[in-house]
């Protein structure tokens, strides 16, 4: 493992995480096997990279520019390859081939060129419009029985929250109750990215912008607006209601429902990001 360069974010995530450390220890052998069996020349990993994956530029025997991603099969990202295959390049990076090896997802992907991050390319208001356009393309009908329901993920997160919650008990109860209830009350069900923000959208020559790194689930499209908001702390703190109304309009969503989702998610994220408590109070139903 000492000879394999690691992404900075993965190194940070290893602190106190023994299971992830065991997975990282298996990477050199797996990388060597994949490179040999798929006839790949693999470069140094992208930095700062992902927290639970190793991704690097690669070329196949024909010299095609590709990207090789080896990802830990944690519950949220288990079906990344299936989602990319179902999108088939529409709004997302195209999957070339994949396989599962133990607790690893191995994905060979088209390489986005020039690969500039949306967050580095455009001002905030323009990022909103691009991200909304990408999401609308990703919201297709999910293949039956292929993806975990959003309600399952929300239930896991709610259970974990209730084990460690501290702070305003009334606010906490209301937030976690909504987080459990909202998935079941959705009138639409689509294939969700669940982690789309301007750091997961890249400039490309095939399409202007392509999504990467999905954590796919099936469920309420309103949920998919949240990660962008949480990744924009200055805007979220300054005007959470206005930010929500803007995204709801761009995405064709019910602004009240988005407000409820935002409140619930801010409550659950609050223990790790105390600044979200003020946002939760500002948008509370």
Per-residue pLDDT at 242 exceeds 80 = yes
Report the percentage of the chain scoring pLDDT > 90: 92
* Whether the predicted pLDDT of 228 surpasses 90: yes
**pLDDT at 167 exceeding the cut of 70:** no
CA 83 distance to own-chain centroid: 12
Q: What is the DSSP string of 151-201?
A: HHHHHHHHHHHHHH--S-HHHHHHHHHHHHHGGGG-S--EEE-S--STTSE
Contacts of 52 (CB under 8 A, 6+ apart): 10, 13, 20, 71, 72, 74, 77
Please give the Cα distance from 276 to 272 (Å, whole number).
Answer: 9
pLDDT at position 168 is 62
Q: Is the pLDDT of residue 166 over 80?
A: no
DSSP tag of 46: P
At 1 the pLDDT is 41
The pLDDT of residue 34 is above 60? yes
Question: Phi, psi (5° rounding) for residue 144?
Answer: -60, 130
Q: Which of 128, 195, 213, 220 is flagged as catalytic?
A: 195
pLDDT value for 169: 78
What is the reported pTM? 0.94
Tens of pLDDT, residue by residue over 91-128, are 999 999 999 999 999 999 999 999 999 999 999 999 99
pLDDT at 57 over 60: yes
DSSP-assigned states of every residue in 71-116: EE--GGGTTHHHHHHHHTTSSBPPEEEEEEETTEEEEEEEPPSEEE
What is the mean pLDDT of the segment spanning 233-252?
98
195 counts as catalytic: yes
pLDDT reported for residue 145: 86
């Amino acid at each position: 493992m000492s000879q394999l360069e690691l992404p900075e974010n993965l190194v940070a995530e290893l602190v106190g995480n023994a299971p992830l450390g065991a997975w990282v220890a298996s990477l050199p052998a797996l990388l060597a096997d994949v490179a040999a069996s798929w006839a790949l020349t693999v470069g140094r990993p992208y930095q700062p990279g992902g927290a639970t994956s190793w991704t690097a530029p690669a070329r196949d025997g024909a010299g095609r520019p590709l990207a090789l991603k080896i990802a830990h099969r944690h519950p949220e990202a288990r079906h990344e390859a299936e989602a990319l295959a179902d999108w088939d390049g529409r709004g997302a990076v195209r999957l070339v081939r994949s396989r599962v090896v133990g607790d690893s997802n191995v994905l060979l992907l088209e390489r986005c060129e020039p690969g500039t991050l949306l967050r580095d390319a455009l001002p905030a208001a323009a990022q909103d419009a691009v991200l909304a356009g990408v999401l609308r393309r990703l919201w297709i009908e999910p293949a039956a029985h292929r993806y975990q329901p959003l309600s399952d993920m929300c239930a896991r997160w709610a259970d974990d929250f209730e084990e460690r919650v501290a702070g305003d008990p009334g606010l906490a109860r209301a937030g976690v109750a909504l987080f459990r209830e909202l998935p079941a009350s959705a009138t639409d069900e689509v294939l969700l990215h669940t982690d789309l923000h301007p750091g997961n959208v890249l400039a490309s020559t095939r399409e202007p912008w392509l999504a990467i790194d999905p954590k796919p689930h099936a469920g309420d499209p309103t949920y998919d607006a949240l990660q962008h908001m949480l990744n924009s702390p200055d805007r979220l703190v300054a005007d959470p209601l206005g930010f929500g109304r803007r995204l709801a309009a761009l995405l064709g969503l019910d602004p009240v429902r988005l407000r409820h989702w935002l409140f619930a998610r801010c409550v659950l994220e609050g223990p790790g990001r105390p600044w979200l408590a003020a946002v939760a109070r500002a948008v509370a139903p």
